[in-house]
Amino acid sequence: MKIAKVAKERMYQVLRAPVVTEKSTLNSEHNQVTFLVDRSATKPEIAAAVEGLFDVKVERVNTLRQDGKQKRFRGFLGRRTETKKAMVTLAKGDSIDVTTGI
């Protein structure tokens, strides 16, 4: 995978937060880590941010965009925010512990 050159400040903007759900925890058995990322982030930027911040080797990045849904809250119509997730596959032997900070 082609890795982009990314500034340190942009790395912190690209990776918003780890996703800690039952499904993402099951994916960690296959060397995959899931992050909420900036909606304008590209796959090479995400790979460079993960490699730069966590000192691991990235094999593959899969992304998905989740559109915001309209929801009612106490009778008022609201809208959830649109998000983007990235499932990052790490090289064999590398791992990231998402419960600790950077």
Task: With respect to residue 97, please indicate whether it lies within any of the assigned structural domains.
Answer: no
pTM, to two decimals: 0.86
**Residuewise pLDDT in 10s, the chain (102 residues):** 667 788 889 999 999 999 999 999 899 899 999 999 999 999 999 999 999 999 999 999 999 999 999 999 888 999 999 999 999 999 999 988 877 766
Q: Please, what is the end-to-end C-alpha distance for the chain in angstroms?
A: 24
Count up the domains in the chain and report the number: 1
Strands (E), the chain: 15-18, 32-37, 58-66, 70-73, 76-79, 83-90
Q: Which two tokens stand for residue 11?
A: 């790395």
User: Which position has the token pair 């106490």?
Assistant: 74
Task: With respect to residue 70, please indicate whether it lies within any of the assigned structural domains.
Answer: yes
The parent domain of residue 60 ranges over 8-90
> Which CATH number belongs to the domain containing residue 39 in this structure?
3.30.70.330
Q: Rounded to an integer, what distance in angstroms lies between the CA atom of residue 45 and that of residue 102?
A: 18
